[in-house]
Amino acid sequence: MLAAAPDRIARAVDRGRTVVLRNHVPVEAQSRFDRGLLAPGTILSYATLRLKPAAGIETFLADQRNPSSPDYHRWLTPGQFGDRFGLSPNDLDKLAAWLRSEGLQVNDVAQGRLWITFSGTAASVAGAFHTEIRRYQVNGEAHFSNATEPAIPAAFEEVVSGVDGLNDFDMRPMYQTEKQPRGPFSPEFTSGASRYLAPEDVATIYNIAPLYAMGLDGSGQKVAVIGRSDIDIQDIRIFRKSFNLPDNDPQMLLFGTNPGVTSSSVESDLDIEWAGAVAPNATIVYVYASSVTTAAQYAVDQNAAPVITFSYGSCEPYNNASFQGVAQQANAQGITWLSASGDWGAAICDVTSPTPQASKGPAGTFPATIPEITAVGGTEFDDGDGNRFWAPVNTANGGSALSYVPERAWNDSTLRNDLSATGGGPSVLFAKPGWQSGPGVPNDDARDTPDIAFPASPQRYAYIVYANGDQLHIGGTSVASPVFAGVLALLNQALAKTTQAQPGLGNINPALYRLAQTSPEIFHDVVVGDNRVPCSQSSPACTGAGMGYSAGAGYDLATGLGSLDVYRFVTGWKTGTASTTTLAIQPGTVNVADTVHLMATVAGRGGTPTGSVTFLANDASVGSALLSSTGTAVLNVSAVTLAAGNGTVSALYAGDSVFEGSSGSATIQLATTGTGSMVVPFITPNPVPQSGSVWPYVVGLTEKAGVATTLTGFTVDGFSQNLSFWTSTNIPANGTVRASLAGNSLTVPVDRLFAFTGRDADGRTWRQEMTVPFVAGNRPSLAPSIVLSGAPSTVLRNPHADACQWSQQITVQETAGFQVQLASFIAGSTSLSSQIQQLFGTTRLAPYGILQATVCSDNLTPPVSRLYQLGGTSELGTPVFATLSVSFTAEASAAPALAVSPAAVTFSGDGTASLNLRFDGGDADWTAVVLPANRTTSWLTISPRSGTGAAEVTIQASAAALANGVYRALISIQAPNALPQALLVPVVLVVGGSQEMTVSAVRNNASGAAAIAPGMQAVVYGSQLAASSQSFRRPPLPFALAGVSATVNGVSAPLYAVSPGQINLQIPYETGIGPAVLAINNNGKVAFSTLQVGVAAPGIDGLVIDNTTGQRGQARAGDALTLFFTGAGDLTPSLATGAAPPTGTPTRNLPRPRLPVSITIGGVPATITSVGNPSGMVGLMQLNCTVPAAVTPGAQPVVVTVGDAASDPVNITILASDS
């Protein structure tokens, strides 16, 4: 009998006391896209208040999977789930009353009591959740979103997990359309040079056809497809007719406002078509709403089908874990939920980057990372020329596959010049579930994805899909997921005929991992390939092979457990042996400060279970332990970590290759005096992980003896805290008070001591303490950041300097892996914003990049201070700022002269070198620092870092864990009382240097001049630069060709063409002025050259066209000329490195040089009619002008000047006028 849900809201609503719901602002809600407030009267329909399930859900789900439990496969109805784990009717009434009091309309209350939908005006919604609802224009589409994190009344903190629908940004569909079709589409779908997957091909390759012969075709089964668009049913009918599938229209289930037919209809069509292709007689229930999360929660709450396929996802760190409750409800109802694992390798957080490179580190795709969801990854066929595996002629059903086709991990990133690859990687939100074990599973304490895989390449070979009246060729894990959904419909049908009375399997992940160990023949273990994608040098997890993971024996983070032999999977499906878990707690009655001994004993018939046991209190893990050879697991914990809730402690055994999981529980009893209060402190989460720049947590006090008391004091690490943070200082009998706090500026890991004092009504006093670890968070901050530094920090006047007597070098560095566009630079009260390009060489800052500028200050009366302020916009559109305070003083009476030798250092692999510091004319204090001070220079250490007078500084370079390439750092030596006050020593580390490979010259690709500028087309000459010749096909430029890549100061340089003696590339726009290092990597062999980069370095292509006559190389006065040049420097509007303006961009909107451009013909200024980077071209400017009347006939030089840099002349013949 399921217990009724207890009331959990104990306090009255106080609008003045709120708590913030974190991770609720979508990444797309950027200031650059902001178009102002949404009209106050705009209706926001079917937003969702998401609620927390009651404690015990984890153990109940384990019991449903344990054959020895009375709850085994006892799937709940939505109403039963609500009775057991949802909110009580009283709590729901309180939430609904609050929503109505804010002017909102309550639409629906879920049967499972885990969500409430509501509608209202933008003004009412913004007021209720203490935020602003604003308009945004993104990629030409109008959107709305909350601009800040929402807040709810603190009284609801324990029951509300999140709110959806404050914006209309939704998850991305996980499909990819084929690029560069290789041949005709029909009727030869899967033969000849062009192969595309028809349903019969999938049935042959994965051994499904024998099941059809057994009568297993999905009859009597349902699969729910989740979508956010209406569909044209004719697309589904055409698809089924094309492949002789039986007529079987999907059931349509709409929730809320009809979104109409949107761009997501393609995703909807392919999901419906391919789930039905594998299970042709199953009923496909299409559940759709304006949001896929809304549709999914409705599908669960309506028990729409025993299998759900979900083909959308987003960068996991931008999400919160509250959606897990919906997946847990699905499992409790017997629903198996599948989700696409992603289409961008482990780089889903980089999918909006201006360049196709990963820089933010690996991340999983949400919601596929939720443990209660099965993540479906992607493979591609590894069939050579294919002749062994494909028939030359299609069957009547459109198939031509002859057998299983070998597979490798799907990775089209090189072919498509993007990040296309099977999604996979560790979660940052969810710890590793106990059932995820076996050969190959990483020991990373994280939920790993994917779990399983099916074909997903849009290139080799795409699935045939009908959408919007057209035949399309599509890949992506969003096709793999519905394919597996169809497989599960066949499995459910088979089980319904034999052993299982109640339909559904719930969470199948434990069974998959067990079957992979006991019945490996069921799986096609994919051991070839990877999901590595291009990455920025020195960015998190970036190696020479890219960022991502390789396929391998057993489990891997690219293809999971592999694909399936479906016949063996269905016929070999079996449950494990039942186990039992009992939990003993010693001592049974404890004081809060005691240590408690937890011992779980796991037993099963026929052997001793192995694996681990997780101990839970209030559904939160307090630790885990391995089972011993006798089947026991022991954990010692502090009583204070167990006693805050209802005292129930659970031991959760996840199972192993033989035994199913099981659970056991026991209750801890607190010793009370019988006369006074008993207060138990708690902190959640525990440990407290970093989130962004802070460590948010909730601290609470629960009274356990039935005696009201008062909180009188609260300290953290001995420092008194403000009691007004608490919901109340009066702690009711058996009641709880809380405070939502956040730690700041911590050096972690660190244990913090929390102490609480109080007084009962009779004067009795009490004190409780609790030590809690604060740790670095698994979740990357994904918060753009720049840092500004100066050398020296105090500037002495240098009377010997003619040009500038107060000179300082300013350095800006990016620290989080984001592109940044610099826009403002202020020195004191003087704006230098218009000079950013001239000072730094560019306005672009690369991920983890560095730019330097020499700033001259005049007309100062020392001593005086000046504040430098540098600002810009990240690739997310968010503002970034950095400041630097600098003091200026008069010259020293006799400042010693600083000298450092050598002036530069180069290492070939690991090595040690010395810098000799010398002072002439006296001694001075000095310091040494490495720039940039971020992960890109972690290979370099120096010692000592400070001293007085002459010294030897030891430099050590370590190539360990570095990919082959060239790494650059700067050592800044500062001596504030010497002249010069600062010197820079460039340090280069070459990893994988080759004696045979050389770079002899780097030149302007148009003019052959030696001058170099950001964005310029450059040609690199040398020997053995490439093993073969290859060139790019169309923009954007690739970062690798024929295994060759290049960097400038560690920033990837895209390639036009490579050959053994010559490489054509673009100098990154992010390259600053001054010395630079160009590196060429030819399949692991490395050569480099030093460059001197200027703000601009125009070089004219020799081709000058007279647009009036069509002639080349000659013109008359008044004629319209067109010429092309490269080396214009930074552009406005900005154009990503390697990119070209889209075809059809109006001339007035083309990116053009930020610096002024002029042209002379024969020394006479010509009128420029337009200048810009034309569509389809990379790094090249088109200039149109009119030949001036004053030009003398004959051979005349044409010179283009950008800023202060003039091109070498190109001669043109000026013809005499006809008149």
Per-residue pLDDT tens for 818-834? 999 999 999 999 999 99
Q: Do residue 149 and residue 183 come from a single domain?
A: no
End-to-end Cα spacing for the chain: 106
The predicted pLDDT at position 465 comes to 98
The predicted pLDDT at position 28 comes to 84
Residue range 990-1019: average pLDDT?
96
Q: Do residue 956 and residue 1072 come from a single domain?
A: no
In a domain, 736, yes or no: yes
pLDDT band at 1219 (very low <50, low <70, confident <90, very high): low
Residue 292 backbone phi and psi in degrees, to 5: -70, -30
Total structural domains in the chain?
A: 7
Q: Do residue 260 and residue 332 come from a single domain?
A: yes
pLDDT band at 187 (very low <50, low <70, confident <90, very high): very low
The SS3 call for residue 1042 is coil
Residue given tokens 């030949």 in the structure block: 1187
Q: 952: exposed, middle or buried (C-beta count within 10 Å: 0-12, 13-18, 19+)? A: exposed
- Cα(117)–Cα(115) distance, integer angstroms: 7
Q: Do residue 551 and residue 591 come from a single domain?
A: no
- Mean pLDDT estimate for the chain: 93
8-state DSSP, 1112: B
If one compares 65 and 1125, the residue with the highest pLDDT of the two is 1125
205 and 404 Cβ atoms separated by less than 8 Å = yes
In a domain, 7, yes or no: no
Question: Tell me: the pLDDT tens digits for 1044-1084?
Answer: 999 999 999 999 999 999 999 999 999 999 999 999 999 99
Q: Do residue 843 and residue 877 come from a single domain?
A: yes
Residue 181 has pLDDT above 50, yes or no: no
Name every residue whose Cβ is closer than 8 Å to that of residue 35 and which is 6 or more positions away in sequence.
134, 135, 136, 137, 142
Omega into 685 within 30° of 0, i.e. cis? yes
Residue 740 has pLDDT above 90, yes or no: no
372 and 451 Cβ atoms separated by less than 8 Å = no
pLDDT band at 3 (very low <50, low <70, confident <90, very high): low
If one compares 1217 and 341, the residue with the highest pLDDT of the two is 341
If one compares 860 and 84, the residue with the highest pLDDT of the two is 84
- Cα(1198)–Cα(1210) distance, integer angstroms: 5
Residue 672 has pLDDT above 90, yes or no: no
Residue range 189-207: average pLDDT?
81
8-state DSSP, 533: B
Residue range 1089-1100: average pLDDT?
97
pLDDT band at 224 (very low <50, low <70, confident <90, very high): very high
Q: Which residues pair with 743 in a beta bridge?
A: 695
Name every residue whose Cβ is closer than 8 Å to that of residue 876 and which is 6 or more positions away in sequence.
27, 30, 352, 784, 818
Amino acid identity for residue 915 in this structure: L
Q: Do residue 597 and residue 460 come from a single domain?
A: no
- Give the rounded percent of residues in the chain with a pLDDT score beyond 70: 98
- The reported pTM is 0.91
Residue range 57-73: average pLDDT?
91
Q: Do residue 345 and residue 443 come from a single domain?
A: yes
Length of the chain as a residue count? 1219
Residue 188 has pLDDT above 60, yes or no: no
The candidate with the shortest Cα–Cα distance to 1157, out of 1219, 1100, 1088, 1091, is 1100
Residue 1191 has pLDDT above 80, yes or no: yes
Q: Do residue 494 and residue 400 come from a single domain?
A: yes
> H helices of 498-521, where?
509-518
Q: Do residue 1016 and residue 1070 come from a single domain?
A: yes
CA angle 829, 834, 835 (to 5 degrees): 90
Q: Do residue 763 and residue 805 come from a single domain?
A: no
Lateral strand order in the sheet of 911-920: 897-901, 911-920, 951-957, 940-943
> How far, in whole angstroms, is CA 272 from its chain's centroid?
28
In a domain, 929, yes or no: yes
181 and 458 Cβ atoms separated by less than 8 Å = no
* Domain of 1089, in residue numbers: 993-1093
Q: Do residue 535 and residue 665 come from a single domain?
A: no
Residue where one domain finishes, among candidates 536, 571, 606: 571
pLDDT band at 143 (very low <50, low <70, confident <90, very high): very high
640 and 770 Cβ atoms separated by less than 8 Å = yes
The predicted pLDDT at position 191 comes to 40
Q: Lowest mean pLDDT of 359-368, 622-631, 1102-1111, 1170-1179, name the range.
A: 1102-1111
CATH number of the domain bearing residue 300: 3.40.50.200
In a domain, 972, yes or no: no
Buried b (16+ CB within 10 A) or exposed e, 306-339: bbbbbbbbbbbbbbbbbbbbbbbbbbbbbbbbbb
Question: Tell me: the pLDDT tens digits for 925-980?
Answer: 999 999 998 889 999 999 999 999 999 999 999 999 899 999 999 999 999 889 88
Residue 185 has pLDDT above 50, yes or no: no
Omega into 902 within 30° of 0, i.e. cis? yes
Dihedral sign (CA 496, 499, 504, 505): negative
Residue 326 backbone phi and psi in degrees, to 5: -65, -40
374 and 336 Cβ atoms separated by less than 8 Å = yes
In a domain, 1065, yes or no: yes
In a domain, 505, yes or no: yes
Residue where one domain finishes, among candidates 1051, 1069, 1093: 1093
In a domain, 860, yes or no: yes
Q: Lowest mean pLDDT of 66-80, 175-189, 305-319, 1116-1130, name the range.
A: 175-189
The predicted pLDDT at position 147 comes to 93
- Cα(1136)–Cα(354) distance, integer angstroms: 6
Q: Do residue 1077 and residue 1168 come from a single domain?
A: no
CATH number of the domain bearing residue 909: 2.60.40.10
Question: Tell me: the pLDDT tens digits for 9-49?
Answer: 988 898 888 999 988 988 888 887 889 999 999 999 999 99
In a domain, 978, yes or no: no
Question: Tell me: the pLDDT tens digits for 583-617?
Answer: 999 998 888 888 999 999 999 998 999 999 999 98
The SS3 call for residue 886 is strand
Helices (H) and strands (E) counted in the chain, each on its own, are 15, 86
The predicted pLDDT at position 893 comes to 75
Residue 776 has pLDDT above 90, yes or no: no
- Give the rounded percent of residues in the chain with a pLDDT score beyond 90: 79
1079 and 1088 Cβ atoms separated by less than 8 Å = yes
Residue where one domain finishes, among candidates 571, 600, 618: 571
The predicted pLDDT at position 491 comes to 98
513 and 452 Cβ atoms separated by less than 8 Å = no
